[in-house]
């Protein structure tokens, strides 16, 4: 079985669409574990309206994202854990494809998909792809993780035993938990692979955590994390020399970064790099 792990905090605007994208999956064997992190809006009421036995809602109170995620990991009953943000969407064949990929590549502990985004109230323009190729093609992410976080957190599909081995998410962190987790997978000798096609889509909107306040602290934390990734994954001076460039990009005005994300990361996979 697959446990879809979703956390929510004041997610009333988008959580219904997120849950519907899970309930529409072609893979039948799954549960959806939703950890609510103390929402004060209508998030909980919206989730309860689904009345689907595959959904388990846990009202945790305001415990913070990392603790909410780890609670969800502990509550998950599946062999695999599929992460899903409350404002993102999954392709209808997402779970089917990622489960098949993990079975085809038993030496991999986790599989993700390329960074793919859509803007606010739009709908993702999913690219066409062959199911067999999607299931049987993986690329290693070591080099990209030394440059930036190339992964939509929602696309993470990981073996439960691997999450136990790395002890879940780092509760000392307040942000960029996903990038840290990917690096720690490698630090623990585990393999992370990426599909060639996107099976999850990130919704870009102004209310996201990293777009609110404390921008400089967030950016500096990202640079420190990137430097750690370079050291841990065997990058040399050429990678570290790019740190000032990435710092400059992350400090660009909000509208400029939004334009870059929409115009670049939402392109078809065959148009990337």
CB 171, CB 67: distance < 8 Å:
yes
Residue with tokens 């938990």: 177
**Cα–Cα distance between 249 and 103 in angstroms, integer?**
38
The whole-number pLDDT of residue 247 equals 81
Q: 200 near 117, Cβ under 8 Å?
A: no
- pTM of the prediction? 0.87
Range of the domain at 57: 2-271
Backbone angles phi, psi at 42, to 5 degrees: -95, 15
Q: Which residues pair with 140 in a beta bridge?
A: 193
What's the CA gap between 73 and 147, in Å, rounded?
Answer: 28
The pLDDT of residue 269 is 45
User: What pLDDT sits at residue 267?
Assistant: 52
Mean pLDDT split into 10-residue runs, the chain, 273 residues? 98 97 97 99 98 97 97 98 97 96 95 88 82 83 88 96 98 92 94 94 72 72 88 84 80 74 53 37
Q: Which two tokens stand for residue 94?
A: 């997402």
Q: Residue 270: its pLDDT value, please?
A: 40
Query: Could you tell me whether strands 2-8 and 80-85 are parallel, antiparallel, or unpaired per DSSP bridges?
Result: parallel
The SS3 assignment for 203 reads: strand
Instruction: Report how many domains make up the chain.
Output: 1
pLDDT (0 to 100) of residue 4: 99
Give the CATH number of the domain where residue 186 resides: 3.90.550.10
Q: What is the largest CA-CA distance in the chain?
A: 54
Q: Tell how strand 89-90 and strand 157-159 pair up.
A: unpaired
């Amino acid at each position: 079985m697959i446990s879809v792990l979703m956390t929510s905090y004041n997610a009333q605007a988008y959580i219904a669409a997120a849950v519907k994208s899970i309930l529409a999956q072609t893979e039948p064997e799954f549960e959806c574990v939703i950890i609510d992190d103390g929402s004060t809006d209508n998030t909980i009421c919206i989730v309860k309206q689904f009345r689907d036995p595959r959904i388990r809602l846990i009202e945790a109170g305001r415990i913070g994202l990392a603790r909410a995620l780890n609670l969800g990991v502990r509550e998950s009953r599946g062999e695999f854990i599929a992460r899903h943000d409350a404002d993102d969407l999954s392709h209808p064949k997402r779970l089917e494809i990622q489960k098949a990929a993990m079975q085809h590549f038993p030496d991999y502990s986790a599989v993700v998909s390329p960074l793919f985004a859509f803007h606010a109230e739009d709908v993702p323009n999913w690219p066409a792809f062959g199911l067999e190729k999607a299931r049987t093609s993986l690329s290693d992410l070591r080099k990209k993780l030394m440059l930036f976080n190339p992964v939509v957190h929602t696309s993470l599909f990981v073996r439960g035993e691997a999450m136990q081995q790395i002890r879940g998410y780092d509760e000392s962190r307040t942000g960029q938990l996903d990038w840290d987790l990917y690096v720690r997978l490698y630090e623990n000798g585990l393999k992370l692979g990426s599909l060639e096609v996107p099976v999850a889509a990130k919704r870009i909107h102004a209310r996201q955590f990293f777009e609110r306040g404390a921008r400089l602290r967030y950016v500096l934390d990202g640079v420190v994390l990137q430097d750690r990734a370079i050291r841990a994954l065997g990058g040399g001076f050429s990678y570290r020399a790019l740190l000032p460039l990435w710092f400059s990009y992350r400090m660009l005005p909000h509208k400029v970064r939004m334009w870059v994300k929409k115009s670049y990361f939402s392109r078809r996979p065959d148009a990337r790099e």
